[in-house]
Structure formats: C-alpha cells, structure tokens
C-alpha cells in the first residue's frame, strides 16, 4: 500500500511516501522567512506552504519512484497547528484525494509525534509490546503521556504555560540567537558549563518552595524565561558575549533536567519499563544523553526517533495513517479543520 503523507502545521512543508510501512521518501523544507522575527509569523507560513506544496509533493512522489496514480491513500495533518498553515496542506491533500478518487486520512499532529520513535521499525510495529511513557516536546507542546500497546493513551502532564521548545526559542532570542534557537543553544552548549548559573526548575523537587512536586507531571517554563531575562539585564554585554556558551548550557540544563526528572518519575510511579521522547526538542543532544543515562540507571528502555523524525516531518503523518488503517480505520472524503484539534478522538483516555 502506498500512502502519501502531507505536513504543513507550522513552518515545515513536508511530504512523504510510505510503501508497505517503509519510508520511501520524506522531503522537508524548513521556512527561513521567519528568522528575523524571532518566531513563526502565521501569515508568512501559510504563503510559504502555498508556494511550495506542489513541488514538495512532486519531489516526494518522484523520490519514492512511483507515479501519482499508484498512490492508495492520502493523509495530512488536520491539527493542531496554525490554522492557515494546516489548511494549505489539508485542502491540498483533500483536493488531490478527490481528483485521484482516493480515501483521505486526517492525522493529529501530536499523536504522530508520539509514535515517531518507532517509524524505522515499520508501521505495523509502531509501538513496543507493552506500555510506554512518552515525552513529547516541541515548539508548541510539552506532554507526558502513558501509551498502551493498543495505542490508546492518557495524558498525565502538560505545560501550564510555555512549551519546552518555546523556552529554548525565547531565552535564545534574549541571548541574540536566531530563530529557532533550540538547535543553536544545543550547539553552543557543547562548549559551555551547564552549572555556570543555576536557573529555576519550576514544579520539581528542586523548586524553592516547601511543597514537594514529586508525582506532579505538569511543567512550567515561563518562570525560567523571566529569570533569564532578569539575570541577563544585570550583566554587561561583554560578560554575556564572553560567556554565551556557558549561559546557553545553563539554560539548556535547566530545561533538560526537568524533562528527565518528570519522565523518569512518571515511569517509576507507573511501574513502566519503556520511555520514548519525540518532537523537535527530542533532537537535543543533552536531552538524549541525560535521558539515556537516567533510563539505564533505572533499567528502562529508551526509544528515540531518528533526528529527521524529531522535528516536523510528513513520514510520521503517513506512518500513523498506516497504523490507523491497519487497525480498521476507514479513510474519509470530507474533514473539518480545527487549530485546537484534541488528542486522538477515540484513542485518548481520560
């Protein structure tokens, strides 16, 4: 079965062809037009998707070495995301499905991230045999979920304010780094001291309140943002310039240590022996290393996506569509768009 997946929920235009569960192409174009703005400008994102969608889909089909009339199903991100951006991919996918007389499968973007660590294992093995704890961390989401082997899941923690990727991007902007600052901080931090300055870790056992937050799986990163801003305002430009790698490493460690602590705590409290990380921030080298060390210490198996499947990509959309179809879901011929699409309709618990 050949499935074409399309992803346009934020600032990546992507298309992928999955043949019998194997990724045959995964073309991703990251928009550069937002760099000087320090964040994604929704209107520009929609226009860029509109400009690129035809050539990206063509490239994905050509790279997979098939013709469009050999496609069996078309899938696209149906939310959550920037409404204009989602609409470009969704309307294009539905139009193409209609023109080719094919069924269309809408896919939830965050669910696709959750299952992205298992893409290389093939769609039919899209999850480990038992339950696993998923940490999904991107520019828009920070979620801890318990996922069962039947693919149902329960969200047990989420951010109360900023997402982890947003914390990287906004503190990076304060340091004068270009958008998206997450990968830049990652690179700079390699040469820095993560203990140079201790920034706050909200809602953790290290929070400076008498209340213990063990067992609380929610996150909060807005205090970190304020703390970085206040601290930077007290330093001279020369000091900041001289210590940029140390500051980047300290910010990174403040975010990563919270993500690791909460994820391991969740796995321990539920007696679950498998953990996965997903979403753009899961590309972070310090997060990968610290999570691996913590999992090894606890005898937990860690599942990590290939770096191309960490950030937004269409292979994860096509893969989740394949899994849903293999479990009896039928394609549709109409679908409503929602920027606030909730998780998973029938598959979410709680």
Question: Contact positions toward Zn ion, by CB under 5 A?
Answer: 138, 312
- Residue 294 touches which member of ligand KG4, Zn ion, none, C-beta under 5-8 Å by kind: none
Residue 115 is a binding residue for ligand KG4 (CB under 6 A) = no
Distance of CA 250 to the CA centre of its chain: 22
- Residue 157 touches which member of Zn ion, ligand KG4, none, C-beta under 5-8 Å by kind: none
For residue 195, give the nearest of 249, 235, 256 by alpha carbon.
249
Which is closer to ligand KG4, CB of 126 or CB of 316? 316
Distance CA 346, CA 192 (A): 45
Residue 277 is a binding residue for ligand KG4 (CB under 6 A) = no
Size of the site for ligand KG4 (CB under 6 A): 19
Binder among 5, 117, 140, 157 for ligand KG4 (CB under 6 A): 140
Stretch that binds ligand KG4, among 14-22, 42-50, 94-102, 136-144 (CB under 6 A): 136-144
Binder among 94, 276, 284, 319 for ligand KG4 (CB under 6 A): 284
Residue 80 is a binding residue for ligand KG4 (CB under 6 A) = no
Task: Output phi, psi for 137, to 5 deg.
Answer: -130, 115
DSSP assignment string, 204-263: STTSSSSS--TT---B--HHHHHHHHHHHHTS-HHHHHHTHHHHHHHHHHHHHHHHHHHH
CB-CB contact of 197 with 247 (8 Å) = yes
Alpha-carbon separation of residue 143 from 91, 128, 191, 261 (angstroms): 28, 19, 29, 14
Distance CA 118, CA 161 (A): 29
Residue 182 is a binding residue for ligand KG4 (CB under 6 A) = yes
Stretch that binds ligand KG4, among 119-127, 260-268, 281-289, 332-340 (CB under 6 A): 281-289
User: Least Å distance between CB 112 and Zn ion?
Assistant: 8
User: Least Å distance between CB 157 and ligand KG4?
Assistant: 18
Residue 227 is a binding residue for ligand KG4 (CB under 6 A) = no
Helix (H, G, I), strand (E, B) or coil at 73: strand
Distance of CA 326 to the CA centre of its chain: 24
User: Least Å distance between CB 202 and Zn ion?
Assistant: 23
The pairing of strands 2-7 and 12-19 is: antiparallel
- Residue 183 touches which member of ligand KG4, Zn ion, none, C-beta under 5-8 Å by kind: ligand KG4
Which is closer to ligand KG4, CB of 180 or CB of 331? 180
User: Least Å distance between CB 138 and ligand KG4?
Assistant: 3
User: Least Å distance between CB 123 and ligand KG4?
Assistant: 20
Distance CA 1, CA 4 (A): 10
CB-CB contact of 248 with 191 (8 Å) = no
User: Least Å distance between CB 295 and ligand KG4?
Assistant: 19
- Residue 283 touches which member of ligand KG4, Zn ion, none, C-beta under 5-8 Å by kind: ligand KG4
Q: 335: burial class by Cβ within 10 Å (0-12, 13-18, 19+)?
A: middle
Residue 190: CB atoms within 10 Å: 12
Which is closer to ligand KG4, CB of 28 or CB of 325? 28
Interface residue list for ligand KG4 (CB under 6 A): 10, 138-140, 165, 168-169, 180-183, 186, 279-281, 283-284, 311-312
């Amino acid at each position: 079965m050949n499935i074409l997946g399309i992803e346009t929920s934020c600032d990546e235009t992507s298309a992928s062809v999955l043949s019998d569960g194997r990724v045959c192409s995964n073309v991703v174009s990251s928009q550069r037009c937002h760099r000087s703005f320090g964040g994604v400008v929704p209107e520009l994102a929609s226009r860029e998707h509109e400009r690129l969608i035809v050539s990206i889909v063509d490239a994905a089909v050509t790279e997979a070495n098939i013709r469009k009339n050999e496609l069996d199903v078309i899938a696209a991100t149906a939310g959550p995301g920037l409404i204009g951006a989602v609409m470009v991919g969704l309307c294009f996918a539905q139009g193409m499905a209609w023109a080719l007389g094919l069924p269309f499968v809408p896919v939830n973007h965050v669910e696709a991230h959750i299952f992205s660590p298992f893409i290389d294992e093939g769609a039919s093995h899209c999850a480990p045999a038992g339950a696993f704890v998923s940490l999904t961390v991107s520019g828009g989401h920070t979620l801890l979920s318990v996922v069962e082997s039947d693919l149902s899941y329960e969200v047990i923690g989420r951010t109360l304010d900023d997402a982890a990727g947003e914390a990287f991007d906004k503190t990076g902007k304060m340091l004068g780094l270009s958008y998206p600052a997450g990968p830049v901080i990652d690179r700079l931090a390699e040469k820095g001291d993560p203990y140079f300055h201790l920034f706050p870790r909200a809602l953790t056992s290290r929070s400076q309140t008498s209340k213990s937050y063990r067992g609380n799986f929610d996150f909060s990163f807005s205090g970190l943002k304020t703390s970085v801003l206040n601290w930077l305002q007290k330093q001279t430009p020369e000091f900041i310039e001289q210590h940029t790698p140390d500051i980047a490493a300290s910010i990174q460690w403040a975010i990563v240590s919270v993500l690791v602590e909460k994820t391991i705590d969740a796995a321990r409290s539920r007696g679950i022996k498998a953990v996965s990380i997903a979403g753009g921030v899961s590309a972070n080298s310090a997060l990968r290393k610290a999570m691996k060390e913590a999992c090894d210490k606890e005898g937990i198996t860690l599942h990590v996506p290939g770096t191309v499947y960490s950030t937004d990509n269409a292979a994860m959309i096509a893969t989740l569509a394949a899994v849903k179809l293999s479990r009896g879901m039928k394609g549709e011929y109409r679908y409503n768009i929602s920027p606030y699409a909730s998780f998973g309709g029938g598959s979410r618990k709680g």
